[in-house]
Amino acid sequence: MASPALPALAELLAAAHVVSLPLTTRFRRIDTREAVVFRGPEGSTEFSPFAEYDDIEAATWLAAAIDFGWRAQPSPLRDRIRVNATVPAVDASRVPEVLALYDGCRTAKVKVAEAGQVLADDVARVRAVRAALGAEGRIRVDGNGGWNVDEAEHAIHSLAEFDLEYVEQPCASIAELAELRERLHDWDIPIAADESVRRADDPLEVARAGAADLLVIKAQPLGGVHSALDIVGEAGLPVVVSSALDTSVGLSMGAWLAASIPTLDFDCGLGTASLLAADVTARPVRAVDGFIEVERVELDDALLTQHAASVERDAWWRARISRCYEALTTLELVRPDR
């Protein structure tokens, strides 16, 4: 299949708005979320790789922004997506406060293995989530690769009493995931891969290695809706569509991806606008009765002005776009218009 054409760099930069949005609680060790949103011919789109990612990795996120803003999307198979609540590595006493941000969500993803914390903190947090959701609620935990195999096995045994739906990226490497999955064979606790998909040179390697029971799929890190759908089709495993602390624009991209997958058995991690204290639209993509709608987001000029990044950060992001654009042409992921 031919690669889609790139809009001119000048067109991208002219359409770009760099914003800095405060969070409701510290997440991924940050208190504000910076992002670039654009008005493209097909609608609003987003470029928001985390600051520590290098230009080659971030270029895939730019490809996703171009895909969603400058290319027609697949026809969605559903008009709304059931989503989970996301509980950061907060003190257990704050769990009810966090869950209250997610209207009607029956599932919670709980962050564990946070640097500077211990297993007792994780157990207390997950226990508080179980108490809040009740016996019918669904709990999944996310280690972001923070444990080695022995630590992960011990932690999962300690958390098993809370009836885990699955454990997301407990260890960093594919080899570790495969070993852990074998150790947990008799425990019936599925392993989900996230970083081993979105930050891998080959996002299908973890599936081929038999190292995961399901995959966490994110639209931006995988190059956009079309590219992510190809990966889902080739992987042959159940998937959960999730976000990377996107603005509502990025969440709409994720919702479009989720709506385009034929079989979607798990609640999706696309309710994270509730972790933002501000957004780029007057109608944030937040859960209502446990669902978000599949629709394009309209940017709000007043909010873009109110939350515009500083002059220095605006320049930093525009320079990053330019470098990533050059990387795209070098990697031939997409081709520039002539």
Active site residues: 111, 218
25: closest CA among 92, 99, 88, 86? 88
CB distance 317 to 34 below 8 Å: yes
Residue 163, annotated as binding a ligand: no
- For residue 117, the Cα-to-chain-centroid distance in whole angstroms is 23
Residue with tokens 């799929």: 217
State how far the Cα of 42 lies from the Cα of 61, in Å rounded to an integer.
17
Q: Are strands 16-27 and 30-40 parallel, antiparallel or unpaired?
A: antiparallel
Q: Residue 168 annotated as binding?
A: yes
The partner residues of 336 in beta bridges, in order of sequence, read: 6
The residues with which 267 forms a beta bridge, in sequence order, are none
**3-state secondary structure labels for all residues of the chain:** CCCCEECCHHHHHHHEEEEEEEEEEEECCEEEEEEEEEEECCEEEEECCCCCCCHHHHHHHHHHHHHHHHCCCCCCCCCEEEECEEECCCCHHHHHHHHCCCCCCCEEEEECCCCCCCHHHHHHHHHHHHHHHCCCCEEEEECCCCCCHHHHHHHHHHHHHHCEEEEECCCCCHHHHHHHHHHCHHHCCCEEECHHHHCCCCCCHHHHCCCCCEEEEECCCCCCHHHHHHHHHHHCCCEEEECCCCCHHHHHHHHHHHHHCCCCCCCEECCHHHHECCCCCCCCCCCECCEEECCCCCCCHHHHHHCECCHHHHHHHHHHHHHHHHHHHHHCCCEECC
Q: Is 136 annotated as a binding residue?
A: no
Which residues are annotated binding-site positions for Mg(2+)?
142, 168, 194
Which residues are annotated binding-site positions?
142, 168, 194
